[in-house]
Structure 1
Amino acid sequence: MESFTERVVTIIKQIPSGKVMTYGQIAKLAGSPKGARQVVRILHSMSSKHNLPWHRVVNRNGEVALENEELFYVQKMSLESEGVIFKNSNSICLEDYIYQPEIRAE
């Protein structure tokens, strides 16, 4: 059986260019509906190791939630380079860009 961390990594790797998922959405698909903060920790500690497209993960409001100004702009520019259009300085319309995998990660 895969661990929660392994399922989260697998889900994040599947997010296609130009699409996003939320921390909570990933946590729910990975089997822990209240594990959004764990997803944040996994992204922080494993993005480089697993070459994760971390920039494709936003909060439940479609916002770039990074407080570090440099990383905020890296995430925003990465999404814009994939065709994601921001409706204001830090958020997108989730309805337009949300990725909904058809199969639950096991």
Structure 2
Amino acid sequence: MASGLAATEERERRRQRIYATICDVPPGSVASYGQIAEIAGIPRGARQVGRALRELPQGHDVPWHRIVTASGHLAFAVDSKPWRRQVDKLAAEEVVLTHGRVNMALYRWQPDLDELLWKPSAAWD
């Protein structure tokens, strides 16, 4: 029983690190699922990032729309309601999609070492 509780607590800590890292992505920039996982200290955890985003609670303030695939595509079906909402949110931040994808060379968030080391969320347990 104790190991189940410990595993649940660890999943919650990872989820909170993922959310904190996503909140660090500045407006007008995007990050990939894998990039968020790496920065959050979850190597090869892109799927965990996707799962955490699917589990966002109602009324959250996590800028989920700034997360895209490594190739710059949105993870939703083209022209679906969530896809359109993400496109609109990105456009409001002046992130442009060309041929259905974000130009990662232009819009990819590239934090410097100081930003990663000294941000408030760097004090993870």
Equivalenced residues, count? 105
CA positional deviation for 1:5? 1.3
Moved over 2 A (4+): 47-50
Q: Report what 2:29 is aligned to.
A: 19
Q: In the alignment, residue 31 of structure 2 is paired with which amino acid?
A: M
Q: Matched residues in 1 for 2:76 and 2:91: separation?
A: 16
- Partner of 2:42: helix, strand, or coil? coil
In the superposition, the TM-score normalised over structure 2's length comes to: 0.75
* CA shift in 2, pair 1:101/1:50, >3 Å: farther
Q: Could you list the per-position Cα deviations for residues 33-64 of structure 1 after superposition, in whole angstroms to 9, with x for gaps in the alignment?
A: 21101100101111535311111000000111
84, 88, 95: which one aligns with 1:73: 84
The structure with the largest helix share of the pair is 2
Kindly, what percent of the aligned residue pairs are identical?
35
Structure 1 portions without partners, runs of 5+: none
* CA shift in 2, pair 1:6/1:62, >3 Å: same
Where relative contact order (Cα < 8 A, 6+ residues apart) is larger, the structure is: 1
1:1-106 superposed matches below 5 A: 3-46=13-56, 48-67=58-77, 69-88=80-99, 90-102=100-112, 103=116, 105=122, 106=124
Superposition RMSD in Å:
2.0
In the superposition, the TM-score normalised over structure 1's length comes to: 0.88
